[in-house]
Structure 1
Amino acid sequence: MELAVFEFGTIAQATDSFSFINKLGQGGFGPVYKGTLADGQEIAVKRLSKSSGQGLNEFKNEVKLIAKLQHRNLVRLLGCCMQRDERMLVYEYMPNRSLDIHFWTNTNAYFPDQTRRTVLTWSKRFQIICGIARGLLYLHQDSRLRIIHRDLKTSNVLLDSEMNPKISDFGMARTFGGDQSEANTNRVVGTYGYMAPEYAIDGVFSVKSDVFSFGILLLELISGKKNRGFYHVNQSGNLIEHAWRLWEEGKPLDLADEFLAETGDLSELLRCIHISLLCIQQHPEERPNMSSVVLMLGSHNELPLPKQPGFLFYKKPFEADCSSGNDGSSSRNEISLSLLKAR
């Protein structure tokens, strides 16, 4: 593969010996650091934690997959380091960090970061939505390999200096061959609130699993609220239920962040709410593929009416164990879930 191999000393120097001040975050793989190479290029370094039981396979998976991908809405892998007992991935640095940072203080759904959120006007959010959709379309249809991401969420969407979105973190991704449309796994990986029902319950995943995750991400971008841990003073349930209830009551725009409802393009907002509900329909065959989603986002054609979404309910959602992140949004699940039909 045409991939640079970095010396450990080069990475250590670039990150000031992995100093805490350069630490950007922590994921299931391990810590991520900002660095600056000798030529002035800024980089992001994912360092496999030596105590991580899941990282090595994901490291190999990510190197194999993302090294072959080239798209403006996918984060670019610059190289890796496999010296001594170190395993590190070196990426282009995204100065505006991850999408979730612009919505939630400490990624907590109960404490929205109002200051950061208002920076993301509707026009910028719509630009981000369209970019994510094009990145997914490339993975599903236009890349040399058909790739299912399996962990699409706000923390895995990075923003460059111009707020263009780039999908990141391919440690959980899987490739499909030729005519293959779905697969089954006994090891369900992903993140609370983003997993499609058929995947969370039966381990069946396909491109439509990513479409479901995209629909959740779309709801979160529009509402400024997380699906997991969603709270409404007059309602129980999650963000999916809240959106569906408003749709059935004929008040879908009530879902929108108040800031957007006052300043955004209401017809565009309504169209995106409609598309999100199409993406999170309960049965995968009823969800659009990403080529249809991109077309719907870029046109004014009439959309089909959405059917009942897939509702996920968690047993003890805040106590369930998941992969190594500390922010409650990490990416491995050992939980039981039930799929209940809407009333």
Structure 2
Amino acid sequence: MVVVAGRRRQEFVEVAVKVFTRADNRRYEDFLAEVSIINRLRHKNIVPLVGWSYNRGEPILTYEYMPNGSLDELLFHRNAGDEQQPTTTRIGQWGTRYNIVKDIATGLHYVHHEYEPMVLHRDIKASNILIDLTFQARLGDFGLACVLADGKNSYTDQGTPGTMGFRAPEYIYSGKATTKTDVFAFGVLVLEVVTGRRAVGRDVLQFGGHVMDWVWHLHAEGNLLAAVDATVLTDAGEFDTQEAVRLLLLGMACCHSNPSDRPTMEGVVRIISKSVPPPDMPLSKPPLMWPPEGWTSADEESTSSTTHNLNRTSAFMVETTTAGRRRKHIASENVPGHPRGRSSQEAFVSVYHTARAS
């Protein structure tokens, strides 16, 4: 991204330029897909598209510039030595974080329930949330977004696009994106905002390698508030304990192992606006049941309706693509020993945790 001066409505406006640099034939297709979606979206919590160009074969999109950068930069600012730095901006205030979560939820509610046809974002994460001058959060980067045709409730794609740690377990297994897979990613993002910890990181490795595993561990101990980022606790008069618990429980509900038990974005907005109580989450994380309730096996090689209980304490779902054939398997429970790069195959690793079955 670079910043240039653009002109719109007789006024100069700063814009961010997105250049599509892929060398293959997908570059033009990616450009058309993104511009066809984002050009029609109009919402205060979505980054506005200013214009586009295909000059001399180089596809370019220009977006309104967000002076406070991305949420990722604010939450996880690092210096050249890659050391964690203390947060010194408004992101260290609890009220700012709560409002950011509300803004993201409002924008996602718009593309799921207000805009027609329905849009799935498919890559919700902190680096795709941009913060404007007034610290209002805007949902950006619709490069992986897709539109659901009338009567459809899922979109199936090869390769399970998205980001490690934000992909729902059923999405990893089937490649089918739904509103519930977006909700899962939103839940992970909520937990990042409240805890100040990345979705996948060393500081939560002993709890399964994922922030939701760590939060659920604290919830089981009756110590849920220990998950709150210490940065927002410095101002005791501004920090709201009940709001923190509300968001942590919401994040856990959105990350529920089974998609049918996750709230919709309509329910999420009601919880954040405090018009309904926060979800009541069990102390033990529910195990992943496969296939999930309401799941159809039309897209699977096997038509068996047998439900498999993946009752592992922690597991890495590893997807590999080799010689054009997609394979999936559950790797070792030993987190440090999960498979790394392979010379002849592309590996996508996503982490999720399931509680032991009773």
TM-score range, shorter chain: 0.7 to 0.9
- For residues 160-206 of structure 1, the C-alpha deviation after alignment (integer angstroms, 9 at most, x for no partner) is 00010110111101111233222322231000111111112221210
Cross-structure match for 2:158: 186
Name the SS of the counterpart of 1:43 in structure 2. strand
Q: CA deviation at 1:304?
A: 3.5
Contact kept in structure 1, 2:75 and 2:91, CA below 8 Å? no
Residue identity opposite 1:296 in structure 2: I
Cross-structure match for 1:48: 20
Residue 239 of structure 1 is aligned with which of 207, 211, 215? 211
Separation (CA, whole Å) in 2 of partners of 1:255 and 1:73? 27
* Range 173-182 or range 59-68, more displaced: 173-182
Residues 317 and 79 of structure 1: is their aligned pair in 2 closer, same or farther, counting only changes over 3 Å? farther
Contact kept in structure 2, 1:100 and 1:155, CA below 8 Å? yes
Cross-structure match for 2:94: 122
Contact kept in structure 2, 1:103 and 1:112, CA below 8 Å? no
* Structure with more contact order per residue of length (Cα contacts < 8 Å, sep ≥ 6): 1
Q: Does 1:306 align with 2:281?
A: yes
Q: CA deviation at 1:238?
A: 1.9
Name the SS of the counterpart of 2:274 in structure 1. coil
1:122-161 pair list within 5 angstroms: 122-161=94-133
Cross-structure match for 1:196: 168
Residue 265 of structure 2 is aligned with which of 276, 282, 290? 290
Name the SS of the counterpart of 1:35 in structure 2. strand
Residues 317 and 194 of structure 1: is their aligned pair in 2 closer, same or farther, counting only changes over 3 Å? farther
Cross-structure match for 2:308: none
Separation (CA, whole Å) in 2 of partners of 1:121 and 1:312? 35
Residues 336 and 129 of structure 1: is their aligned pair in 2 closer, same or farther, counting only changes over 3 Å? closer
Q: CA deviation at 1:234?
A: 6.5
Contact kept in structure 2, 1:151 and 1:173, CA below 8 Å? yes
Following TM superposition, the consecutive aligned residue runs of length 4 or more in structure 1 with deviations greater than 4 angstroms are: 232-236, 309-312, 314-321, 336-340
Cross-structure match for 2:6: 37
Residue identity opposite 1:223 in structure 2: T
Residue identity opposite 1:313 in structure 2: F
Separation (CA, whole Å) in 2 of partners of 1:153 and 1:276? 13
Contact kept in structure 1, 2:78 and 2:84, CA below 8 Å? no
Q: Does 1:335 align with 2:348?
A: yes
Separation (CA, whole Å) in 2 of partners of 1:258 and 1:204? 37
Q: CA deviation at 1:114?
A: 0.9
Q: CA deviation at 1:124?
A: 0.5
Residues 107 and 130 of structure 1: is their aligned pair in 2 closer, same or farther, counting only changes over 3 Å? farther
Separation (CA, whole Å) in 1 of partners of 2:78 and 2:173? 29
Quote the sequence identity (%). 30
Name the SS of the counterpart of 1:245 in structure 2. helix
Q: Does 1:215 align with 2:187?
A: yes
* Range 198-207 or range 310-319, more displaced: 310-319
Cross-structure match for 2:240: 265
- TM-score normalized by structure 2? 0.77
Contact kept in structure 1, 2:317 and 2:352, CA below 8 Å? no
Name the SS of the counterpart of 2:105 in structure 1. helix
Contact kept in structure 1, 2:341 and 2:347, CA below 8 Å? yes
Residues 138 and 87 of structure 1: is their aligned pair in 2 closer, same or farther, counting only changes over 3 Å? same
Contact kept in structure 2, 1:118 and 1:259, CA below 8 Å? no
Q: CA deviation at 1:48?
A: 1.3
- For residues 279-318 of structure 1, the C-alpha deviation after alignment (integer angstroms, 9 at most, x for no partner) is 0000111100000000011116333323536666366779
Name the SS of the counterpart of 2:16 in structure 1. strand
Name the SS of the counterpart of 2:55 in structure 1. coil
Residues 239 and 250 of structure 1: is their aligned pair in 2 closer, same or farther, counting only changes over 3 Å? same
Residue identity opposite 2:37 in structure 1: L
* Range 232-241 or range 248-257, more displaced: 232-241
Residue 105 of structure 1 is aligned with which of 48, 54, 77? 77
Contact kept in structure 2, 1:312 and 1:337, CA below 8 Å? no
Cross-structure match for 2:34: 62
In angstroms, what is the RMSD of aligned CA positions? 2.6
Structure 1 or 2: larger strand share? 2
Residue identity opposite 1:208 in structure 2: K
Question: Matched residue pairs, number?
Answer: 300
Residue identity opposite 2:178 in structure 1: S
Q: Which runs of 5+ in 1 are unaligned?
A: 1-31, 322-332
* Range 159-168 or range 230-239, more displaced: 230-239
Residues 291 and 163 of structure 1: is their aligned pair in 2 closer, same or farther, counting only changes over 3 Å? same
Instruction: Tell which structure's C-alpha radius of gyration is larger.
Output: 2
Separation (CA, whole Å) in 2 of partners of 1:56 and 1:318? 34
